[in-house]
Amino acid sequence: MKSKTISQITALAAVLMLTIMLFMPFQTVASAIALAGCPETCGDIEIPYPFGIGPKCSLPGFELSCNVSNNGSPTPFLFNNIPVLQISLIWGHVLVNKSIMSSCYNQATSSFSNTSNDWNLSGTPYRINSWQNKFTVFGCDIDARMSIGNETDMFTYTCMTSGCFSQDRFNIDRVCSGEGCCQIDIPEELSSYEISLQYRNYSSAKQYNSSQCGYVVLGADIVSEFRSTDITISKLYKHRLYLDWSIGNESCKMAQERQDKSSYACISDHSMCINSNNSPGYSCYCSDHYEGNPYIKGGCLLGVRNFCPAFARPNTTGDCQLYVPYVIGNR
């Protein structure tokens, strides 16, 4: 009888302890962000490996510099001249500031100022994200073209705006209707481009006041953020561009089957490899119920992944749903 009572008390204590543990706040030890001895931040921006600042702090192609920007604060730069706003491991993107193209008519000189805009990311880990970025044109009677490919295999995407009912203002009220505004999708796996801009009707363009300009923006969809009176060159220069990134140019299977596995990037326990869907190569993720940095040994720690990046839309329960196709294998 006594042993039965002790057994019952022990079982009750175990149930009670389990109940307490279930209702305790879930805490995990913070995972490392960067390699040992390497900076984890530049200003307010986290720099997670495979990105890094300084010698032997990054994988090839992921080197960043940390310099003082025009606003006086430390800022990470890609290729030494592209300001980095955010690096995401789980979404596999880098958010950067990128310059725009503009053409303005100057009544004093009776001429147009033009700036060209081209970029070549071939041979780098980066591609221009095709679902978060748009090709957008602001201005009246403008023909903007984006050419991709090479001389023997060239594709051109054209975006044309109509004439404006008002000669000194184009009609944008958070909607791109065609009058003074044109927007098109961009192709997948975009790694290089060249943009040109010209007025189709120079005679009407010359009637515009000296501040009338045409702009071409390749970047995050910004039409919903603007009214006609909001659009200025200074605001447009702050536009955002999403870059996808991936590791190498091999699939997960090829990278995992190599005899020399020193270049395989998903090195943490409880990590998994996912083929990139916007470029050659792959990305690494922590397995379900783990979070942290899968590119660092011991980087994936037990935790509860329940967060959404600022730009993501949570579902009706408030959770953030992540769908990553083509799971190749777990490590």
Average pLDDT of the chain, as a whole number = 78
Mean pLDDT of 16-42: 66
Q: Which residue has the higher pLDDT, 38 or 26?
A: 38
Does 40 have pLDDT greater than 90?
Answer: yes
**CA distances to 16, 26, 117, 148, 317 from 23, in Å:** 11, 8, 56, 56, 20
Using 50, 70 and 90 to split pLDDT, how confident is the model at 311?
very low
Cβ 147 vs Cβ 216: under 8 Å: no
Nearest residue to 137 (alpha-carbon basis) of 76, 64, 198, 52: 198
Q: Which residue has the higher pLDDT, 221 or 23?
A: 221
Query: 99 is written with which tokens?
Result: 């310059």
Cβ 175 vs Cβ 223: under 8 Å: yes
Using 50, 70 and 90 to split pLDDT, how confident is the model at 192?
very high
DSSP 8-state symbol, 172 = -
Using 50, 70 and 90 to split pLDDT, how confident is the model at 59?
very high
Does 267 have pLDDT greater than 70?
Answer: yes
- For the chain, what are the domain ranges? 41-88, 97-245
| Rg for the chain, CA atoms, rounded | 26
Neighbour tally for 141: CB within 10 Å: 21
Cβ 53 vs Cβ 80: under 8 Å: no
Position 142 scores a pLDDT of: 84
Position 328 scores a pLDDT of: 42
SS3 annotation, the chain: CHHHHHHHHHHHHHHHHHHHHHHCCCCCCCCCCCCCCCCCEECCEECCCCCEECCCCCCCCCEEEEEECCCCCEEEEECCCEEEEEEECCCCEEEEECCCEEEEEECCCCEEEECCEEEECCCCCEEECCCCEEEEEECCCEEEEEEEEECCEEEEEEEECECCCECCECCCECCCCCECEEEECCCCCECEEEEEEEECCHHHHCCCCCCCEEEEEEEECCHHHCEHHHCCHHHHCCCEEEEEECECCCCHHHHHHCCCHHHCCCCCCCEEEEECCCCCCEEEEECCCEEECCCCCCCEEECCCCCCCCCCCCCCCCCCCCCCCCEEEEC
Does 161 have pLDDT greater than 90?
Answer: no
Nearest residue to 142 (alpha-carbon basis) of 193, 223, 197: 197
Residue range 70-122, pLDDT digits in tens = 778 999 999 999 999 999 999 999 999 987 888 877 777 766 766 668 899 99
Position 200 scores a pLDDT of: 73
Q: Which residue has the higher pLDDT, 38 or 21?
A: 38
Neighbour tally for 265: CB within 10 Å: 20
Q: How many residues does the chain have?
A: 331
Using 50, 70 and 90 to split pLDDT, how confident is the model at 322?
very low
Residue range 164-176, pLDDT digits in tens = 655 445 555 556 7
Using 50, 70 and 90 to split pLDDT, how confident is the model at 323?
very low
8-17, 131-140, 244-253, 280-289: least confidently modelled range: 8-17
Cβ 214 vs Cβ 137: under 8 Å: yes
Mean pLDDT of 206-222: 71
Using 50, 70 and 90 to split pLDDT, how confident is the model at 20?
very low
Does 157 have pLDDT greater than 70?
Answer: yes
Does 276 have pLDDT greater than 80?
Answer: yes
Where do we find the tokens 């958010």? 95
Using 50, 70 and 90 to split pLDDT, how confident is the model at 310?
very low
Mean pLDDT of 211-240: 69
Position 220 scores a pLDDT of: 87
Mean pLDDT of 16-43: 67
